[in-house]
């Protein structure tokens, strides 16, 4: 679930989903794509029809215009320094290091982000709400639909909603968004515990 949440955050600056007639969403995308470095603070809330709110995971992200990023979701870290991809799991103290190729970044979840416009149809529900529906024939463990809600006043993302494989509602609420955060180079430098178990996949 965390990996998919990580992909949704990257969606905001890497997707070519928007069509010209989707004015509010176009404004959001333009604001995000023009920022040298974007900072997000968000919370993922999982809701069950039976149990109510079951879990809330907080996270943050720095995403540079040149493609580098650092995303923290709970205690896990996903970092791309422009050369290598690092995925750190605190619970196991394991660090997975990968080198991207031209066709694939981290995993199928990242391919999902890159191909969002290819795999989903989109339409406006209202001035600030957009429905994304998976196209017929598209395979893979991705949601059948997503809902994206924007703030039309300041052109920011308010929330992304989707149903996960357990039929629970996930709400990714964006608590803060700054497209001119002035990320330092150190933000994208790998800095993990010396005791970490490294797994190199290149």
Cα radius of gyration (the chain): 17
Q: Which domain holds residue 143?
A: 2-200
> What predicted TM-score, i.e. pTM, was given to this entire model?
0.73
The predicted-structure confidence for 99-146, as pLDDT tens digits, reads as follows: 876 444 433 333 344 355 667 777 888 888 888 888 888 776 677 888
The predicted-structure confidence for 171-198, as pLDDT tens digits, reads as follows: 989 898 887 767 788 889 999 999 999 9
Which strand ranges, in their side-by-side order, compose the sheet holding 145-151? 120-124, 129-134, 145-151, 156-163, 169-178, 37-48, 52-64, 69-73, 76-80, 85-89, 94-98, 197-200
Instruction: Return the CATH number at 172.
Output: 2.50.20.10
The predicted-structure confidence for 43-77, as pLDDT tens digits, reads as follows: 989 888 777 777 888 988 888 877 788 889 899 99
Instruction: Provide the domain count of the chain.
Output: 1
Over range 3-22, report the average pLDDT: 53
Q: Which two tokens stand for residue 182?
A: 């002035």
């Amino acid at each position: 679930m965390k990996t998919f949440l990580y992909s949704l955050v990257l969606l905001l600056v890497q997707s070519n989903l928007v069509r010209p007639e989707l004015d509010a969403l176009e404004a959001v995308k333009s604001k995000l794509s023009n920022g040298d470095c974007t900072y997000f603070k968000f919370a993922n809330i999982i809701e069950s029809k039976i149990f109510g709110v079951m879990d809330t995971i907080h996270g943050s992200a720095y995403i540079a215009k040149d493609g580098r990023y650092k995303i923290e979701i709970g205690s896990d870290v996903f970092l791309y320094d422009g050369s290598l991809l690092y995925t750190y799991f605190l619970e196991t103290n394991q660090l997975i290091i990968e080198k991207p190729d031209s066709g694939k970044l981290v995993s199928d979840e990242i391919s999902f982000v890159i191909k969002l416009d290819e795999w989903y149809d989109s339409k406006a529900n209202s001035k600030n709400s957009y429905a994304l529906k998976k196209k017929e024939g598209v395979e893979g463990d991705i949601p059948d639909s997503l809902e994206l809600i924007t703030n039309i006043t300041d052109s920011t993302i308010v929330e992304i909603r989707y149903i996960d494989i357990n039929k629970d509602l996930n709400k990714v609420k964006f608590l803060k968004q700054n497209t001119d955060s002035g990320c330092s180079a150190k933000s994208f430098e790998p800095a993990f515990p010396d005791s970490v178990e490294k797994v190199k996949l290149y």
